[in-house]
Structure 1
Amino acid sequence: MSHEAISVFDMFKIGVGPSSSHTLGPWRAAQRFVSTIQTRYPGIHPVSVQVLLYGSLAKTGKGHGTDVAVLMGLSGEDPVTIDVNSINDKIAAIGELHQLHWGAQHWIAFHPDTDVQFLFNDSLPFHPNGLSFLATMENGDTISETYYSVGGGFVVQEGEKASAAASVDLPFPINTSDELLHWCMKTGLTINEVVMENESAWRSDAETRKRVLQIWYTMRDCIYRGIHQQGILPGGLNVRRRAADLNRRLTKGATYTDFDSWLEVIRRGGASFQYILDCVSCFALAVNEENASFGRVVTAPTNGAAGVIPAVLLYYIAFCDGNEEDKIIRFLLTASEIGSIFKKGATISAAMGGCQAEIGVSSAMAAAALAESLGGTQRQAIMAAEIAMEHHLGLTCDPIGGLVQVPCIERNTMGAVKAITAAQLGLQSTPDFAKVSLDKVIKTMWDTALDMNSKYKETADGGLAVHIPISLSEC
């Protein structure tokens, strides 16, 4: 059996909200299309470009900012470095001027209302998240490419062969949790140590550590921004931000000037169950309110589930003596490996598997990482992941108005709390007597995804999305 090589930085990507599959993926696809044309036609520019959005990208694309993402990608902007506060002005300028700064190099005529088409009734066979780019060049040539945003910011071009990353020769090739346990038992390494050894196939340990910490810094900064932002989230649903008010109650008017001083206030605030529960909820709300506002977040493993892992990691840092760089790195390495196993064995795309594939997977990732961080064995960590996913099986994706707000934001608080509970259960259990393995749960999740009606897979055609309707024109 071949083994797909997935790095920690495939599972954790820095980007812009609100959706990894509907925003970050299409943005990356647009960048790739620009790069293809620049390589194939050096010195020759397009005179026109059209974007066709299919399936779930069409049905919930407005609410997820898919059109915004492709325009930014075609304009040469990068989701990692763009000033997120500039996005609205850039989009407004394209609409007013009817011009697009192609690849940040050449102005072309572009009318967003007609050159980005939402094909609500059309779907491509490979994946529900399909999009095509069509360009006419100055020399009269036409070129088209089709991409699929398959979840977590991963993008696959139609007909694309296995990526170079997938062909990396890993010291410990892993597709399943049984294989992960095999290597742990054979070598005596912890899960995070196995992951670090595999990461050495791509880069030095020092570079891996540096980049993992950058992932944490981005998560940390997102939480800190989120707890200070107030008002109504964009999109027309009129959802009010809650993290700032909750943080104000938790900190009781205490003064602080930066993340570290705020964290000290939180740490001194108490140790009651209710207080810690409110803190975890606040952390998760902060991230996903930022995500819903086109803020900078980390896919973990997706944007819609971006708040679970930061919330659980910050719980570990604040209340479980986890505030050390080595501990933070180990937490994120372990979490990434569990996420990669889910991606290989099932999906991390809500358009394929419903919300079980996003909140469920993120909760399992966080549970395993927390269990191992608190001293659990490899088997206990994997058991914690299984427990977390087992209680997310069948969770549907039915965003109201196609927005990553209701029920998505609150679901991150639920996923974080379940992860902490699952980690504690794993630590208090004897995995040798477990009735259900993580691999069986992953297989069950995939079977459930295949059986799930498409209207519950990020299409806004069922569930809350139809019982609390909102016109796409409002979004």
Structure 2
Amino acid sequence: MAHEAISVFDIFKIGVGPSSSHTLGPWRAAQRFVQSLEQKELLSSLTGLKVCLYGSLAKTGKGHGTDIAVLLGLGGADPVTFDVTKIASAIETVNREKTVVLAGRQPISFHPAEDLQFLFTETLPFHPNALSFLATFEYAAPLAETYYSIGGGFVIKEGEEAGGMQPVSLPFPVNSSADLLHWCLKTGMAIHEVVMENESAWRNETETREGVLRIWQVMKECTYRGCHTTGILPGGLLVKRRAAELAKRLLKGRTYTNYDEWIAAIKAGGHSFQYILDWVSCFALAVNEENAAFGRVVTAPTNGAAGVIPAVLHYYLVFGENVTDEKVIQFILTASEVGSIFKKGATISAAMGGCQAEIGVSSSMAAAALTEVSGGTQRQALMAAEIAMEHHLGMTCDPIAGLVQVPCIERNTMGAIKAITASQLALQSAPDYAKVSLDAVVETMWETALDMNSKYKETAEGGLAVNIPLSLSEC
């Protein structure tokens, strides 16, 4: 049976908030379009460019920064390295000069208000998150390319296979949790060991370990930054950042000068249930407040759900015992495999499946990973993943004003807590007696996604998005 090869670095991507599907994906699509022009040797003869946003990208694109992402991508900025403090000034320059410098070297007249179109009533059939680039040239026929942002920062060009452009053969191909368990039982390897062996199809083990630790470093920096930044989030909804005040209150005056000392100060506060619960919530809030403020985060597996895994990992780091880099690597590798199973068997796009596809998947990933590093068996880890998703089934995506703020930020706290609870339940249970498998819950999630009304799929046309009496004229 054919399988889609998904790497840990496909599930976990370093990027810029607030959305992996509406910000990072369109950013990457714009970069790919410019690269396409370069490959066709058409960049220098370009005379005109229009960008059309369809479906969910149009309906919630302003709140998600889709227009900003497209302009930055066209200009050659890389979401992994671009200085996020310069986003506002870069966009202001484009609007003032009505020019985009493609790939940072080819200027072209571009009026964002006219040339970047939000087609609110049009949706392309393949996926709700679609954008088209329409180009004209001095010496060549017009060119149109359409890209789909399918969730988690994954981008597919129209006519391209979903598995990507460079298929690889994995030693342990996995499409489902049954496949994964088969390889674990056949080889005696833990889930993270199977994943590490598969990663060898792309790079050597040292490079994989270094890359995973870079992912963890970005998560740490984002969490620390979010726990020390106050103010109001952008977008006009006037949401107040809460993580920094909560962190300060919990630390009760304990001092520190860097991240490691901060972690030590948190540990010094004890292990009461309320204290642990507050910190898990604080970690999750911090990351998604950063995400909402166009900060640098890691898709896990999406930006909207980026706070769950860092929160659970920090819970394990602070309140666990003797947590090493090796354990962190095991956690992230295990989580990535569960995320890839959901992507293959269902979706990780809220525009396709509602919030169950984002917070639900991230909670499931974190639950399995926490169980694995806590000494659970492979079957207990998969049981934890199933429990976490089972209790997110049917969750809608109804962001107020199309912003990744309410209810998105708090939902990350709930996803983190559910992951920890699911892990504890699995560790104290015998999988032999479980009534629901992970594959069954993946299938159910997909069926639920297909049945869900489109207004609950990241359109801001249903649920909280229309029932909260707020003045959103600035949004």
TM-score > 0.5, shorter chain as reference: yes
Aligned twin of 2:312: 312
Asked if 2 retains the 8 angstrom alpha-carbon contact of 1:15 and 1:299, the reply is: yes
Partner of 2:219: 219
Q: Match of 2:342, as an amino acid?
A: F
Q: CA separation of 1:140/1:40 partners in 2, compared to 1, >3 Å: closer, same or farther? A: closer
Counterparts in 2 of 1:56-75, with a 5 A limit? 56-75=56-75
Residue 370 of structure 2 is matched in structure 1 by 370
Q: Distance in 2 between matches of 1:241 and 1:419?
A: 24
Residue type of the alignment partner of 1:396 = T
- Post-superposition Cα deviations, 1:436-473, rounded to whole Å, max 9, x if no partner, equal 00000000000000000000000000000001256775
C-alpha distance 371-463 of structure 1, shift in aligned 2 (>3 A): same
State the match for 1:90 in structure 2: 90
- Tell me, in whole angstroms, the C-alpha distance in 2 between the residues paired with 1:191 and 1:40: 43
How many angstroms apart in 2 are the aligned matches of 1:211 and 1:472?
A: 41
2:336 paired with 1:339: no
CA deviation string 1:340-362 (max 9, x = no partner) = 00000000000000000000000
Measured in 2, the distance between the counterparts of 1:445 and 1:47 equals 46
Q: Which moved more, 1:434-443 or 1:102-111?
A: 102-111
Deviation at 1:44, TM superposition (A): 2.2
**Structure 2 length-normalised TM:** 0.98
Match of 2:304, SS state, is coil
- What residue is the counterpart of 1:175 in the other structure? 175
Residue 117 of structure 1 is matched in structure 2 by: 117
Equivalent position SS for 1:279: helix
Pair 1:60–1:470, CA change in 2 (3 A):
farther
Please say if residues 195 and 333 of structure 2, whose CA atoms lie closer than 8 Å, have aligned partners that are also in contact.
yes
Q: Which residue of 2 aligns with 1:99?
A: 99
Identity %: 70
Contact 1:44–1:138 under 8 Å retained in 2: no
Conserved 8 A contact 2:152-2:299: yes
**Counterpart position of 2:424:** 424
Query: Once the two structures are superposed, what CA deviation does each residue of 1:97-137 show, in whole Å capped at 9, x if it has no partner?
Result: 11111110111111110111000000000000010001112
Mean alpha-carbon deviation: is it higher for 191-200 or for 137-146? 137-146
* Equivalent residue letter for 2:311: A
Q: What is the correspondence of 1:46-445 to structure 2 with a 5 Å cutoff?
A: 46-161=46-161, 163=163, 167-321=167-321, 323-445=323-445
In structure 2, the CA distance between the partners of 1:359 and 1:141, relative to structure 1 (3 Å rule), is same
Give how far 1:48 is off. 1.7
Cα distance in 2, alignment partners of residues 443 and 163 from structure 1: 20
Aligned equivalents of 2:296, 2:43: Cα separation in 1: 33
Structure 1 counterpart of 2:37, which letter? I
Distance in 2 (alpha carbons) for counterparts of 1:100 and 1:78: 15
Shift of 1:139: 2.2
Once residues 9 and 165 of structure 1 are traced to their aligned partners in structure 2, the CA distance between those partners, rounded to angstroms, is: 16
Q: CA RMSD in A?
A: 1.2
Secondary structure of the 1:117 match is: strand
Distance 1:198 1:469, change over 3 A: farther
Instruction: Quickly say closer, same or farther: Cα 1:163–1:368, change in 2 above 3 A.
Output: closer
Shift in Å at residue 42 of structure 1? 5.4
42 and 126 in structure 1: CA distance in 2 versus 1, 3 angstrom threshold: closer
Q: Tell me by how many angstroms 1:164 deviates.
A: 5.4
> Who is 1:22 aligned against?
22
Structure 2: how far apart are the matches of 1:210 and 1:76?
Answer: 26
CA contact (8 A) 1:28 1:73 kept: yes
